[in-house]
Amino acid sequence: MAVTINTLRDYKQKGEAFSVLTSYDATFAQIVSEAGVDVILIGDSLGMVLQGHDSTLPVTMDQMVYHVSSVAKGNRGSLIMADMPFMTYGTTEAALENAAELMRAGAHMVKLEGTDWMKDTIHALSERGVPVCAHLGLTPQFVNKFGGYKVQGRDEKHAELMIEHASELVAAGADAILLECVPAPLAARITQAVQAPVIGIGAGADTDGQVLVVHDMLGMVTGRKPRFVKDFLAESGSIKGAIEAYVAAVRDRSFPAEEHTFKA
């Protein structure tokens, strides 16, 4: 049975963790979905892992549409979530037009990075039938404003603000929240504070779901390995086995372990 946003809501209500993994082509999409991954994310991370850029900013809508279309052809029942690239949702009108392109290509949900300024855009998308995941914490498209890739929400003032923003975005219509590089205690507070499913990466084991870049969890990391990454291929011996091990570890909450998380 195909995974939908209702499936993710049910997981949250039952306290069952769900898995998210990136894919960028039909072959990986089929392997990932058949291994039991609930959500496939076509991330603008493709700008770094596929194209060799040092950030996600150069990724274009045409490129995202191409990869979403490829993933949709290989998918076997996972929910498909697609990133909206840098500055493609700077206005509500642009967001509506560009989200429509991604949905027509095969996405079931779009993901936007930002805080309370996205409320009107999220409301407009939701009102028009586009499910939205709001990305908070370390938002890679803001790397130049942050001055690098840094953990967000370490002090109480910024923690309270992130909780407030998450609540406001869910009230505006966001169907999910993604928290990246957020201290585990804060991620747990946000997960409890909102009704929408919360997905974490570098945000501890108490979120409703977990996401990783497929290249990272297969040990295909160039340069410094992020703290939140685990090489599942090293223990399983095959790509399919590694992905199945990731799904199982997320479900039983053995991943992420303490060494993969950040403290306040």
**Residue 180 bears catalytic tag:** yes
Q: Which CATH architecture has domain 3-258?
A: Alpha-Beta Barrel (3.20)
Predicted structure pTM score:
0.96
Digit-coded pLDDT (tens) for 130-159: 999 999 998 889 888 777 767 787 889 999
* Annotated binding-site ranges: 44-45, 83, 111, 113
Does residue 264 surpass a pLDDT of 90?
A: no
Q: Write out the two tokens for 92.
A: 């509500």
Digit-coded pLDDT (tens) for 207-246: 999 999 999 999 999 888 889 999 999 989 899 999 999 9
Q: What's the chain's Rg over C-alpha atoms?
A: 17
Q: Write out the two tokens for 91.
A: 């206005």
* Annotated binding-site ranges for 3-methyl-2-oxobutanoate: 44-45, 83, 111
> Using CA atoms, how far apart are residues 83 and 64, in angstroms rounded to an integer?
8
Digit-coded pLDDT (tens) for 178-207: 999 999 999 999 999 999 999 999 999 999
Give me the catalytic one of 97, 156, 180, 258. 180
Residue with token string 């979905």: 33
Digit-coded pLDDT (tens) for 35-85: 999 999 999 999 999 999 999 999 999 999 999 999 999 999 999 999 999
* Annotated binding-site ranges for Mg(2+): 44, 83, 113
State the burial class of residue 44 (Cβ atoms within 10 Å of its Cβ: 0-12, 13-18, 19+): buried
